[in-house]
Chain A
């Protein structure tokens, strides 16, 4: 039997109050092993207080070739930003 173990993506919360962030990936035979390997590979110096692992095949990614239709529509919507709105100078903080 010649087969790579499945690939897993590793997300680590570095401390409570922060979100889990993508740290990298690794191979493991199952979820438990993926967690244990993630501990050894990505948190050898107290980098985390919580780990998520998810098999890479379950992630659906957008295709960079479709970036124009995906992301450009947001570009011309300046009215979604506070600087679009003109206020009198007397108003210091709003």
Chain B
């Protein structure tokens, strides 16, 4: 294709998106659109899968059967969400195996939040309330994204995730209204998860060079800082209601802005975790690699069985 032809196609493509049309897998798309989507969607899928690990840690130790079935259902949802997203990404021409290899080699990232440990039961509450709360804000914005399979996956995911946040908040509320020790446990979890949750929205706008392109393709509807502010504004009253204290001495309602002001985020910590130096990066990746390696014989056996059944049927027919 000539350069001029590609330019025409690109202009036509951008106009379609501006016009709220959806792009479907077999449509022509600029290579950069394809690659950006493969990167973002596969990392989103990996985050769902790795995200099962910190919570899976507490399934066998949930304090009641009610909590246990809820946590099991939540973790199972995350597996499902990972699978929706992997297959949506495959429509762009990358194989499942390649994506998994990229995760294992470190080429593809996953959300840094899952590199923090879950050291007490209250962490399960904090994750549901804060981490899923932040994820929902990011994901609701993506329900209207331009790539059809991604948007459809996000609609299903958002529908299923609101219970995740509610069950987390219910855990926090129960602990906060319990004994002094239980309340202290909830406060400690909030202290540890608050700042990493704010980091989930990504770097400050001035350090986020791809925002303009992402807005054009509707991969973003609002900037990182806008979404972060929205999360803070909605979460602070929820903390107040259960009498837990947000660990930020600078947090203060700003009447003029109509928003909460908040203290500086430790971006050095953020980049350290992204680069692999968080508390659990090695453990998480090792768990995924082991699961993949230990499951290989099962995958092979299932395929061998299906091939054998197929050849038996062929023999019968002939």
Contact = CB atoms under 8 A, between A and B. Distances in A.
A2 B97 contact: yes
Contact of B300 (A1, A40, A61): A1
B194 interface: no
Range of interface residues on B (Cβ < 8 Å)? 20 to 34
Interface stretch (B79-87, B172-180, B213-221, B244-252): B79-87
Nearest to B153: A24
B303 interface: yes
Nearest to B96: A4
Interface residues of A, number: 22
B90 interface: yes
Given A2-B97, A45-B160, A25 B87 contact: yes
B26 interface: yes
Contacts, number: 55
Given A64-B26, A65-B28, A5 B80 contact: no
User: B interface, by DSSP: helix, strand, loop or mixed?
Assistant: helix
Interface in A38-68: 40-42, 44-45, 61, 63-65
A33 interface: yes
A29 interface: yes
Nearest to B304: A1
Contact of A64 (B24, B88, B97, B306): B24
B57 to A, nearest CB: 22
B269 to A, nearest CB: 36
Given A33-B306, A44-B77, 20 more contacts: A1-B303, A1-B304, A3-B97, A4-B96, A7-B87, A7-B90, A24-B87, A26-B87, A27-B87, A27-B96, A30-B309, A40-B76, A40-B80, A41-B80, A41-B83, A44-B73, A61-B26, A64-B26, A64-B27, A64-B28
* Across the A-B interface, the 8 shortest Cβ-Cβ residue pairs: A29-B302, A30-B306, A25-B87, A29-B306, A1-B300, A29-B303, A64-B27, A4-B97
29 contacts: A1-B300, A1-B304, A3-B97, A3-B303, A4-B95, A4-B96, A4-B97, A24-B84, A24-B88, A24-B152, A24-B153, A25-B90, A26-B87, A27-B87, A29-B299, A29-B302, A29-B303, A29-B306, A30-B302, A30-B306, A40-B76, A41-B80, A41-B83, A41-B84, A44-B73, A44-B80, A61-B26, A63-B26, A65-B28
Interface of A: 1-5, 7, 24-27, 29-30, 33, 40-42, 44-45, 61, 63-65
